[in-house]
Amino acid sequence: MLGHRTLTVEDYTTILKRRGWIILLPTLVLPLIAYGITFFVPPQYVSQTLVLVEQQKVPDSYVKPVVDQDLSGRLATMKEQILSRSRLQPIIERFNLYGNKKMGMDERIDLVRKSIDIKPIKSEVARTGGLPGFFIAFKANDPQTAQQVCGEITSLFVSENLHAREQSAEGTTEFLKGQLADAKRNLNEQDAKLAQFQTANSGRLPAEENLNASLLSSLQSQLDATTQALGTMEQQKTYTESILAGQVGMQNSQGSDLNRAAPQTQQTELDKLQAQEADLTARYTADYPDVVAVRRKIAELRKQMGPADSSPSSPVATTSVSKANRTDSPAVLQLKAQLRAIESAIVNKRSEQHSISLKIGDYQSRLHASPMIQEQLKNITRDYQTAQAFYDELLNKMNQSKMATDLERRQQGEQFRVMDAPNLPDSPTFPNVPLFVAGGLIAGLMLGLMIVGWIEYRDTALRSDRDIWAFTKLPTLAVISLESDVVQRETAKSKSWFGGRKDKVVSTNKPLMNAGS
């Protein structure tokens, strides 16, 4: 009554006793069929090798590796390169892979790709990261072919890793060479610009500001001292002139012809003033105070002298002046010599004063222009320092890249090491006979259970009072026992595929009336 009422453990036991042979038959037959299938399925042999990743022999603190990509990423890239048509087709043609099948080269390449298995090994050490190595496996119908092809693929991985690392290091070095040349050219331009600026602004640079201020202070002190000395000389000149005038007056008082200035003396004074004017105009401009004063004295002296031929007694005066000059006292002559020395010293001191004033103006202009020069120098220096830092950084990277390239060429960097050569498989991995038999056993058991379940669901025979209640919803009033021959017939029928008749009632040796009747 499967499907018509809820079954108990007793019901399942009864069904198993009645239909057990139906479950047992496919459970025994299907494993035998699965075992027979293994003889018709082409065997598959898998050859496998272990490749470990050896780190570079020189510590990273001495030579920094150029290739810093994660191994899993590089492994994926190398896998795509090795599984390309240009790499696999020579191997397929050499070993005649899948040559017994009528397939094109593209289909054979696809089968070879599916037969290659790359399995990375995860690091079991905590927090280390990376991949310590990987397995390479190849599946083929022949064990020797699987071993040989696995070895070829392994050698491709090893050589590709060496070539890729060396090519990456050389490419990095070539790139850095170009960048370093550009950086050096830029640095030379900045250096030339800085040198040109320093040459053009020599004496006005910020580094010379303190020196300029010190020299300006010294020149100010010199100017003050020169001005003070010039004032002293002017006073000394005035004092000497006053003494000379007194001596001359005393001398002129001895004769009436000496009461006025002799023309020869005036002429001598005029020549001296003209010589002083020539000396001053050679060094100063026409509006310089000393030049103006000398020219004023020359004009006044010429007014006093008057026209050269206006006085008829000029020979007499000349004679008397000559006599007076020849009769000057030693004191007057000494005072005149002192006066000429003082005037010459005053001229030199004024020239020194003018020179110091020009120097002071020059240093003042330097100090005034210092902030602007400093700003311009800061911009040029900043560009130069940036170019210098960039050049130094590229030079350092270039040296590291050269060492890394040399390291890769000597095969002392990170490389793949084949730990286990490709093995020669002893037995095929497919078909797996125990797995096939176990699968047939499970499939037969499931098939038998499904058949029994379907038969019991279709069976409408009433074999107990629970079946009667589930079918009619009426209580059982009495149970009539069958005769032995009828029971034997029913028992024989119950062993058939589909059970007894639908209208048969199976009874047991129970009382004729149940407790509820």
Residue pair 408/166 in contact (Cβ under 8 Å)? The answer is yes
Give dist(CA 54, CA 51) in Å, integer.
9
Helix (H, G, I), strand (E, B) or coil at 330: helix
Q: Are residues 21 and 33 in the same domain?
A: yes
As a whole number of Å, the end-to-end CA separation of the chain is 25
The contacts of residue 92 (CB under 8 Å, 6+ apart) are 98, 105, 108, 109, 112
Q: List the one residue out of 163, 173, 165 whose CA is nearest residue 71.
A: 165
Give dist(CA 404, CA 170) in Å, integer.
9
Of 441, 459, 477, which one is at a domain's C-terminal end?
459
Position 127: which residue type?
A: R
Residue 415 forms beta bridges with which residues?
54
Residue 180 lies in a domain: no
Residue 493 lies in a domain: yes
State residue 490's pLDDT score: 53
What is the residue-wise DSSP string for 113-129? Answer: HHHEEEEEEPP-STTT-
Q: Are residues 28 and 3 in the same domain?
A: yes
Exposed e or buried b per residue across 275-311, where buried means at least 16 C-beta atoms within 10 angstroms of its C-beta: ebbebbeeeeeeeeebbeebbebbeebeeebeeeeee
pLDDT tens string 219-232: 888 888 888 888 88
Q: Are residues 473 and 511 in the same domain?
A: yes
How many other CB atoms are there within 10 angstroms of residue 399's CB atom?
11
State residue 154's pLDDT score: 92
Q: What is the Cβ-side half-sphere exposure of residue 188, based on CA atoms within 13 angstroms?
A: 5
Give dist(CA 106, CA 23) in Å, integer.
48
DSSP 105: H
Give dist(CA 152, CA 240) in Å, integer.
120
Give dist(CA 433, CA 428) in Å, integer.
10
Give dist(CA 47, CA 138) in Å, integer.
6
Q: Structural domain tally of the chain?
A: 2
Residue 417 forms beta bridges with which residues?
52
Residue 22 lies in a domain: yes
Strand pairing of 415-420 and 133-140?
A: unpaired
Which residue range(s) make up the domain with 477? 460-517
Helix (H, G, I), strand (E, B) or coil at 209: helix
Predicted structure pTM score: 0.50
Residue pair 42/499 in contact (Cβ under 8 Å)? The answer is no
Q: Are residues 464 and 507 in the same domain?
A: yes
State residue 182's pLDDT score: 92
Give dist(CA 109, CA 146) in Å, integer.
15
Residue 13 lies in a domain: yes
Residue 98 lies in a domain: no
Residue 57 lies in a domain: no
State which residues of the chain have pLDDT below 70.
1-5, 60-62, 66-70, 123-131, 251-264, 306-328, 411-412, 479, 481-517
Residue 63 lies in a domain: no
Position 90: which residue type?
A: P
Residue 301 lies in a domain: no
